[in-house]
């Protein structure tokens, strides 16, 4: 059996043909296919506008920067995230304030966020960890009109809030960010996007993506060559080569999410009997696209270290990962923002126990059964029939 990673893309012949179609044409950098990709994302999420970008790190960077905030003000995000969520504040000169997580959903929650809001708070970036949407209505109520919200939905394309609406529609936020890295629910190789319903933010993001240049919308141009640099910007374009793949993949979003949820259901059923393992919790009122299958393992009770468990699974060609080392425990954040161990206890406890088990739509039933068999064995569960021998 081939190695089973913790996550992987699923590329089919239609995806390959879509990319080849761009390569055979004239335009290979950002062009008409990027426009189509953006329109499709709007269609799928219900957002009015979409700006596709080189990756979600760039998207988070531009999203915070588009608010044009004073240096030294503050932004809050989860400590249980990929560091790009909090780096977005640092790039714009904001102080990153890290929030603790709910022990069941592993997401930021209103009561903890409320404690971290002060007169300098300007932005909150809730991260929909593993695909499970945060309690956005409560977070919007907390933020009011004065604090902006950028949802980090890198894990959550295809997820739905408690009210049934789709993540990305920006019902509760100024902007939502997606990632199309290969382990994500759909991929464009590398890639990201921002959705918004605000036309002014949309215009600004589009300019910032191309070095801050404004051209088409300028009135009274002296000639066709003319453009103006109105903002500080970057080259964060996503090429049509990437967009062709992303667009083709978006057509399979429903199928991919369904397969992920099928595997999750199978895992949950089988793993429920492992005494040292807690399977992921999905709030009954939300719908998670399940980017990750994060289990909590009581390594003390098991009598094995996490490293030992990982190695025993690797021996069976099963890859795992830990999502995430809390951001406040990272040396850069400790050194520059004074964080220390003990500051955010829920996330630290979570980190001691977390292990992501393989989950991706291309997994075959045979691979799923292989994972089930070996995870159960490595975690010491030998089955009811053998108890007492």
Ligand X SMILES: Cc1ncc(COP(=O)(O)O)c(C=O)c1O
Where along the sequence are the contacts to ligand X (CB under 6 A)?
A: 55-57, 81-82, 84-85, 127, 152, 154-155, 179, 181, 192
Please say which residue, 62 or 378, places its beta carbon nearer to ligand X.
62
Report whether 213 contacts 221 (CB < 8 A): no
Please say which residue, 157 or 363, places its beta carbon nearer to ligand X.
157
| Minimum CB–partner distance for residue 305 and ligand X (Å) | 25
In degrees, rounded to 5, the angle at the alpha carbon of residue 159 between the alpha carbons of residues 283 and 201 is: 125
Please say which residue, 239 or 381, places its beta carbon nearer to ligand X.
239
* Token pair for 223: 């000639």
Rg (CA), the chain: 22
Name the one residue in this structure whose structure tokens are 């030998």: 382
Cα of first residue to Cα of last residue in the chain, in angstroms, is 32
d(CA 66, CA 83): 20
Other Cβ atoms closer than 10 A to 51: 28
Name the one residue in this structure whose structure tokens are 């954040």: 333
358 torsion bin: left (phi>0), alpha (psi -120 to 50), beta (else)? beta
Please say which residue, 143 or 150, places its beta carbon nearer to ligand X.
150
Please say which residue, 76 or 368, places its beta carbon nearer to ligand X.
76
Strand pairing of 213-214 and 228-229? antiparallel
Please say which residue, 54 or 263, places its beta carbon nearer to ligand X.
54
Tell me the torsion sign for CA atoms 264, 271, 162, 8. Answer: negative
| Minimum CB–partner distance for residue 25 and ligand X (Å) | 26
Going through 346-386 in order, the beta strands assigned E by DSSP cover 354-357
* Token pair for 253: 């979003």
| Minimum CB–partner distance for residue 295 and ligand X (Å) | 18
| Minimum CB–partner distance for residue 179 and ligand X (Å) | 3
| Minimum CB–partner distance for residue 81 and ligand X (Å) | 5
Please say which residue, 57 or 320, places its beta carbon nearer to ligand X.
57
| Minimum CB–partner distance for residue 84 and ligand X (Å) | 4
Residue 293: closest CA among 317, 322, 256, 273: 322
Report whether 356 contacts 322 (CB < 8 A): yes
| Minimum CB–partner distance for residue 282 and ligand X (Å) | 18
In degrees, rounded to 5, the angle at the alpha carbon of residue 366 between the alpha carbons of residues 361 and 367 is: 55
Map residue 203 onto helix, strand or coil. Answer: helix
| Minimum CB–partner distance for residue 259 and ligand X (Å) | 20
Residue 360: φ, ψ to 5°: -160, 150
Please say which residue, 108 or 117, places its beta carbon nearer to ligand X.
108
Please say which residue, 132 or 270, places its beta carbon nearer to ligand X.
132
| Minimum CB–partner distance for residue 104 and ligand X (Å) | 19
């Amino acid at each position: 059996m081939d190695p089973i990673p913790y996550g992987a893309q699923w590329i089919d012949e239609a995806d390959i043909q879509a990319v080849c179609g761009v390569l055979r044409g004239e335009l290979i950098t950002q062009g008409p296919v990027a426009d189509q990709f953006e329109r499709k994302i709007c269609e799928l999420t219900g957002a009015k506008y979409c700006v596709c970008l080189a990756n979600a790190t760039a998207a988070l960077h531009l999203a915070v920067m588009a608010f044009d905030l004073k240096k030294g003000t503050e932004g809050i995000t989860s400590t249980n995230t990929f560091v790009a969520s909090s780096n977005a504040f640092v790039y714009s000169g904001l102080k990153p304030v890290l929030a603790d997580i709910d022990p069941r959903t592993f997401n930021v929650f209103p009561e903890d966020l409320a404690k971290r809001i002060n007169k300098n708070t300007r932005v909150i970036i809730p991260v929909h960890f593993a695909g499970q949407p945060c309690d956005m209505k409560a977070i919007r109520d907390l933020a009011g009109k004065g604090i902006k919200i950028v949802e980090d939905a890198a894990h959550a394309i295809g997820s739905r809030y408690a009210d049934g609406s789709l993540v990305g529609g920006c019902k509760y936020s100024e902007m939502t960010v997606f990632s199309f890295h290969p382990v994500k629910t759909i991929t464009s190789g590398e890639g990201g996007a921002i959705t918004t319903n605000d036309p002014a933010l949309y215009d600004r993001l589009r300019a910032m993506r191309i070095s801050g240049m404004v051209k088409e919308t300028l009135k009274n141009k002296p000639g066709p060559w003319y453009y103006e640099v109105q903002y500080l910007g970057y080259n964060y374009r996503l090429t049509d080569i990437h967009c062709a793949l992303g667009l083709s993949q978006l057509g399979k979003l429903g199928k991919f999410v369904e397969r992920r949820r099928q595997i999750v259901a199978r895992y949950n059923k089988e793993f429920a009997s492992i005494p040292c393992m807690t399977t992921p919790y999905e709030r009954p009122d939300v719908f998670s696209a399940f980017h990750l299958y994060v289990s909590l393992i009581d390594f003390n009770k098991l009598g094995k270290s996490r490293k030992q468990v990982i190695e025993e699974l690797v021996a069976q060609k099963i890859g795992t990962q830990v999502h995430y080392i809390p951001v406040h425990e990272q040396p850069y954040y400790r050194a520059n923002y004074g964080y220390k161990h003990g500051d955010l206890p829920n996330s630290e406890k979570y980190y001691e126990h977390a292990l992501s088990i393989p989950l991706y739509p291309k997994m075959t039933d045979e691979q799923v059964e292989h994972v089930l068999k070996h995870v159960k064995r490595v975690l010491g569960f030998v089955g009811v029939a053998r108890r007492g021998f």
